[in-house]
Amino acid sequence: MKNFIFTAVILSLLAGCINLNEIGTEETASNQVSSLIFQSEYTNYAWGYNHNGWMMDGTGKVKSFIKTTPWVFPDSLGYLSEKDMQKNFSVCDATLTQVASAEFTLYAGKALTCVTGTLTKPKNTMADAGERINCFYIYEADKKRYKRIILSMIGDWSQENLAVNAKEVSDWMGNIK
């Protein structure tokens, strides 16, 4: 019971720190958190095409995807329609794990503070290594689309989100298998 009360107090404090006007929505913080989608993906075109990773929905369910499935990537501005997001979820084949509700809410709250974080300039760091992108999507209900927010990209080209919580959230995502 003490843990529940402690978690509720912490989440209340986090929710109070989120400025919803900064992320361009009038949804409540609770709706933003529950509609947030985390994604970790690896893509490589060297020596044959490879694309795999996982997606986590607003309930904390983590499902995997592999290269043999059709995939819709975000446009050049990072947007993906609601319909295309549903297509991507429909090809996720296996449930990897279930993240506890309190843990999901904690990291979703931290992720939302990264929405306005700037990205470092792309830096060429490897060759033929592909790229691992840890990101999350926020839902824009009025436009029926999702906006991708990159936390980190490591591989041939590397970038990092400079928001205070970005590295912590990306590291947390790296531990999900």
Question: Among 90, 96, 92, 57, which Cα is nearest to 176's?
Answer: 96
pTM (2 decimals)? 0.81
Q: What is the pLDDT of residues 58-100, one digit of tens each?
A: 999 999 999 877 899 999 999 999 999 999 999 998 999 999 9
Greater model confidence, 24 or 152: 152
pLDDT for residue 29: 55
What band does 45 get if pLDDT is binned at 50, 70 and 90? confident
pLDDT mean over 102-109: 96
Q: Is 21 helix (H, G, I), strand (E, B) or coil?
A: helix
Contact between 98 and 62 under an 8 Å Cβ cutoff? The reply is yes
Contact between 41 and 131 under an 8 Å Cβ cutoff? The reply is no
Q: In the structure encoding, which two tokens stand for residue 55, read together?
A: 């997606």
